[in-house]
Structure 1
């Protein structure tokens, strides 16, 4: 799944003034949306392990790669070949 966070997204003015970066929570929201797009609504999902490695700037394109199947997935958020974030997601409490 590819995505771009527009420069006028409401999360950006406070993160950070003068040099906006896409907040990690916005990236994780896209990860959860990609999992649900692939597997349908799953209820609560946990993110037991997440690493943020590089920032995503507004207007830059990124993509999400998923591996696994319910109830557990590995994900990577990439800009080109650069890994921006990676981690695990799991269904259930």
Structure 2
């Protein structure tokens, strides 16, 4: 199963003024937050309230006002969602997410 969504960040977002002044780049934490919200809103299973980020790799910069396309592909073997964010066909972020009904209390690095 494959699903996708689109989002962007306004140039006046408060996080952008300090990241980086004169040459703003959307912080990775904001990108990941949008990816998580997109997956939660697109999946039919509303019982899953927590997301485990299994893997994430930031490959390129996302600028304010750029449209970000996020594609999710369900991988049956791992039970995880693979995702990829791109702007104008250029990959910016990739990773894997797992929806869970339980809060995970330990952090594994």
Q: TM-score, normalised by structure 2?
A: 0.78
Give the aligned partner of residue 52 of structure 1.
58
Unaligned 5+ runs, structure 1: none
The number of residue pairs the alignment matches comes to 93
Larger Rg: 2
Structure 1 window deviating more from structure 2 (45-54 vs 63-72): it is 63-72
Unaligned 5+ runs, structure 2: 105-109
Q: Aligned Cα RMSD in Å?
A: 1.7
1:79 to 70, 87, 100: 87
Give the Cα–Cα distance (whole angstroms) in 2 for the partners of residues 60 and 4 of structure 1.
6
Q: TM-score, normalised by structure 1?
A: 0.90
Report how far residue 91 of structure 1 moved: 2.2
2:98 to 87, 90, 93: 90
Give the Cα–Cα distance (whole angstroms) in 2 for the partners of residues 33 and 69 of structure 1.
19
2:22 to 6, 18, 25: 18
Report how far residue 61 of structure 1 moved: 0.9
Give the Cα–Cα distance (whole angstroms) in 1 for the partners of residues 47 and 35 of structure 2.
13
4+ residue segments displaced more than 3 Å: none
